[in-house]
Amino acid sequence: MGHQRPLQKIKAVYDSDPVKYETLQQILLIEKSIYGSEWPKVGATLALMWLKRGLRFIQILLQSLVDDERDEDNPDLIRINITKAYEQALKRYHGWIVQKVFKRISCSTPLAANGYDINRAPSSNRFSSLLTADASSLQPATSPAPPCRV
């Protein structure tokens, strides 16, 4: 689930009564009284929790790229960064099937910089290279992505 759906759910609650739901805290407190024992696993509260989890995933992924973490055997792949972010931010909230689906999807993650070897880019840091490199300075990757075992 992307960030759009949780934002839409939260906005829908707010739009239903902007005076009553003026802040996120008011939404949470009112939903807690409305839903009782089902809270916080319903409504805008649940959407807010998933939004926070998704943002945490992005934070860990970006930090991993900034820290230049990589698989030494396959330095062009960002799979290790995505997997780290998933395991730390989202995995515990997913059931067995979704975890397997994620693992399968992560096997098809692109090479860094859309198939270009950013190790040949002007900056030594992969993340900085992605942000600052002129696309013409990037060289095509010389080898295909290695197979992934699921």
Q: Residue 28: enclosing H or E segment and its boundaries?
A: helix 24-35
- pLDDT, residue 121, reads 47
Mean pLDDT calculated for residue range 62-87: 89
Chain segment 94-104, per-residue pLDDT in tens: 999 999 999 88
Cis peptide before 110 (omega within 30 of 0): no
Confidence of residue 76 (pLDDT cuts 50, 70, 90): confident
Chain-centroid distance of CA 115 in Å reads: 20
- pLDDT, residue 127, reads 54
Confidence of residue 105 (pLDDT cuts 50, 70, 90): confident
Q: CA–CA separation, 113 vs 14, rounded Å? A: 38
The domain locations on the chain are 1-54, 67-150
Residue 111 has pLDDT above 80, yes or no: no
Residue 61 has pLDDT above 90, yes or no: yes
Residue with the bigger pLDDT between 105 and 111: it is 105
Share of residues in the chain with pLDDT > 70 (%): 71
Count of beta carbons in the 10 Å neighbourhood of residue 25? 9
Residue 17 has pLDDT above 70, yes or no: yes
Residue with the bigger pLDDT between 106 and 101: it is 101
Residue with the bigger pLDDT between 134 and 20: it is 20
- Which of 17-31, 70-84, 123-137 has the weakest average pLDDT? 123-137
